[in-house]
A = this chain, B = another copy of it.
């Protein structure tokens, strides 16, 4: 016999009450969008909410029905936020398309999503134009924002004209909590991008967990002013748009203007309290602050995820009185997985070095998010001793359980956990540390070498800007590590492979020392700004141009 059931309302978990709460209670709260020139645009939550209902009517009139995909090609703007609210709440699926992708991937992603309508910021039209003949599913393109429609865009519809003509705002229909609400493709460092299909239930729970977990000292409330630098085409904008609307926090949207000078201006001018982005944004921003100190007294937290934050970055912002909060997640995890909070009970016992080590970890699991580290050789859980390495596996109601249109289960364990492909440790306090991607580990003489650990150490050298390590096939050892290094401007000539090996030597086993250190102008990046290790391996296979042998003193380039 089934056990007694609760007698609670079967209210579906959807974005609708979260959106309506924010718009209803905080109608005078603001959404600020940076422009190419002049002061930012400002709109109230009430205006954005009303426009979302009009957008929904316009999309409905274009034939968008329940479950249909509406693609967005846009930076962080008010219109993108309107689509974030309107599309899921009308029962359709918001497909955020990464506008930085290679045209082949872009065409694949839009076709894979089956997008019927594309909402395209005019600044993104060149990317769209490049694949204009490869959009079999797209019936309509709606354009918005600064600029002109490109030649050939004659069939495009104007967003503002559609809203103006939409005289009967659409009311939100009843929704099933399991129905799709969002779609985002993985960054696909290997193979084609795969679609992750978020449900209303998963986005609702993700929003609540983000707000509940308390990663931000001082909480997250309507007193906050949130600047997501992370593009809204990345994994639900890390959940910040939905969370900010639900709790009534102001949103400051930078559009496509992400250079350090403009970001500092926006952070200061709008008195931002919380911002979020990847390390490759914060590195240059820190350099800017170092060069030109700017008081940012309201800024309580700089959420940093997408790639490991080097400790030097955390320390660098500390010098300005600014707190980097390290976080980890994936497209598959909505993305909130772990965030660093230095436990209150730990604080008294931590010396500065230990405290930094905690802050540079990937942190503690969010409320409702479960992690485990599995020894793939033995199939046993690794002990939480901070040393045993295994594959990070995760589980939560907001973790994907399969990819759009694919039935393969390689990414999932038999008992239903997601195999992240990350190699990790857990320490006795529960702090997660990513050691590497399973596929980025270098296997030398049967031993594992962590490319990420080597990269972090190399980037800790004051004259190094960026470093990426990959394995090169080796007849004797199987693989040997090779480092690609970008010297800091001004360091050229002074920085040598030998100096870097001496820098590494105290920290790693002898066999970890890279066989070669290659100075390059830049490290190739993927569409989401991560090191493109496939490209680096290809370059090695083709014979790197600026090859140097360690120990042979020489300048960069």
Hey, which bits of chain A sit against chain B, CB under 8 A? 1-11, 13, 17-18, 20-21, 24-26, 28-29, 65-67, 91, 93, 176, 178-181, 196-202, 204-205, 207-209, 211-214, 216-223, 246-248, 341, 343-345, 364-365, 367-368, 370, 395-404, 416, 418, 429-430
Contact B367 A208 (CB under 8 A): yes
Can you name 9 A-B residue pairings with CB atoms under 8 Å? A8-B398, A10-B401, A11-B395, A18-B368, A20-B370, A21-B365, A21-B367, A211-B367, A218-B218
Q: Tell me the nearest residue of chain B to A92, going by C-beta.
A: B3
- Most chain B beta-carbon neighbours within 10 Å: one of A8, A66, A367: A8
Contact A4 B197 (CB under 8 A): yes
The CA of A513 and the CA of B370, in the complex, are separated in Å by 60
Given contacts A4-B180, A367-B21, contact A344 B399 (CB under 8 A): no
Given contacts A17-B370, A222-B341, contact A8 B208 (CB under 8 A): no
Given contacts A214-B247, A341-B221, contact A201 B6 (CB under 8 A): yes
The CA of A365 and the CA of B209, in the complex, are separated in Å by 18
Given contacts A13-B397, A247-B367, contact A91 B3 (CB under 8 A): yes
Contact B91 A179 (CB under 8 A): no
Given contacts A211-B211, A247-B214, contact A344 B223 (CB under 8 A): yes
Chain B nearest CB from A447 CB (Å) reads: 31
From the candidates B7, B91, B246, name the one contacting A196 in the complex (CB within 8 A): B7
The CA of A21 and the CA of B341, in the complex, are separated in Å by 14
Q: Tell me the nearest residue of chain B to A67, going by C-beta.
A: B3
Contact A212 B202 (CB under 8 A): no
Contact B401 A8 (CB under 8 A): yes
Contact B200 A6 (CB under 8 A): yes
On chain B, the residues within 8 Å of A216 by CB distance are 219
From the candidates B202, B212, B246, B367, name the one contacting A6 in the complex (CB within 8 A): B202
On chain B, the residues within 8 Å of A368 by CB distance are 17-18, 21, 204, 208
On chain B, the residues within 8 Å of A418 by CB distance are 9
